[in-house]
Amino acid sequence: MKNIAFLLVLASLITACSTSTKESKEVISADFQSIIDSSLINGSVLIYDANKSTYYSNDFEWAKTGFIPASTFKIANSINALENEIVENDSSMFYWDGEPKFLKSWEQDMNFYQAYQRSCVPCYQEIARKTGANKLHATLDKIGYPGMVFDSTNVDNFWLEGDSKISQFEYIDFLQRLANKELPISEHSYEIMSKIMVLKETEDNTLYGKTGWAVQNENNIGWFVGFAKTKDNTYFLATNVAPTETFNMDNFGRIRMEVCLKALEALISNAPEK
């Protein structure tokens, strides 16, 4: 009888916790669609307002579709580098091998912070090779970064080409756990990630994130993911876009983050005053 009573009490506690959990809502934003349309691209902006437990997007179906992560994977790979002691801190060095690279900015020695900020593909390929497929799989499982398909034959490029996929919703879930320190990683890893991920910082706001760009089957895939911390809220951001036929590809590099920040600005400016 004591066991039954204990189980009944436990069940009531679980029920109380589940009913008190704030369920998230989904709200379609016409503003987001206008920003997408005026930029001559297709795609989805997904923003999660932590205070309101609400997702905003112009296209929730797109936001639930998986795409190869491209260089946004550098967030997870940075955690991997720190947790597996491939790098020690943001000053750890990567040395240029003297060979020509895709970007001139990669043709120099740089530290870990610079490698992240410059999105140095060769630097992060070195990290993946040093980690190895088995250990990298274990690390991604530990931190709950889903959808990556690789083995020892493609451990240094699976985030750029292949069958790996992650959705905007999955990204925001991962970023929430990172921002809220709910990942099973060291405090040192959190400290270094909070440094290298900063893209913009003002007195009132800090933007953390990463862009990504991949080409699959001649289709361009553009990403921006991250989170914006204000004085009283955190907004989690995941944008995935593709150019239309009339889009000027010279602008694709900047448009990925630009449309997301325009959408965030519209969301905040249109919010009712407290």
Distance CA 81, CA 112 (A): 10
Which entry of 39, 71, 78, 167 is annotated as an active-site residue? Answer: 71
Say whether 71 is catalytic: yes
Return the closest-CA partner of residue 24 out of 193, 172, 126: 172
Distance CA 229, CA 238 (A): 15
Distance CA 17, CA 21 (A): 6
- pLDDT at position 73, please? 98
- pLDDT at position 5, please? 42
Q: Return the H-helix or E-strand segment holding 63.
A: helix 60-63
Paired strand residues for 212: 223
Distance CA 156, CA 253 (A): 23
Given a contact cutoff of 8 angstroms between Cβ atoms, the answer to whether 55 and 47 are in contact is yes
pTM of the model: 0.90
Encoding tokens for residue 94? 């990567």
**Domain 23-269 carries which CATH code?**
3.40.710.10
Strands (E), 11-77: 25-28, 41-49, 54-57
Long-range contacts of 266-270 (CB under 8 A, 24+ apart): 266/29, 266/31, 266/32, 266/35, 267/29, 267/31, 267/47, 267/49, 267/56, 267/235, 268/235, 270/31
Given a contact cutoff of 8 angstroms between Cβ atoms, the answer to whether 221 and 213 are in contact is yes
Q: Match 């630009």 to its residue by tokens.
A: 258
pLDDT tens over the chain, length 274 residues: 444 443 333 343 333 333 333 589 999 999 999 999 999 999 999 999 999 999 999 999 999 999 999 999 999 999 999 999 999 999 999 999 999 999 999 999 999 999 999 999 999 999 999 999 999 999 999 999 999 999 999 999 999 999 999 999 999 999 999 999 999 999 999 999 999 999 999 999 999 999 999 999 899 999 999 999 999 999 999 999 999 999 999 999 999 999 999 999 999 998 765 5
Taking CA atoms, 41 is separated from 70, 88, 141, in Å, by 18, 40, 34
Given a contact cutoff of 8 angstroms between Cβ atoms, the answer to whether 56 and 49 are in contact is yes
- pLDDT at position 270, please? 85
Given a contact cutoff of 8 angstroms between Cβ atoms, the answer to whether 221 and 254 are in contact is no
Return the domain boundaries, the chain: 23-269
Q: Which residues of 16-40 are buried (b: 16+ CB within 10 A; e: fewer)?
A: eeeeeeeeeeeeebebbbebbeebe
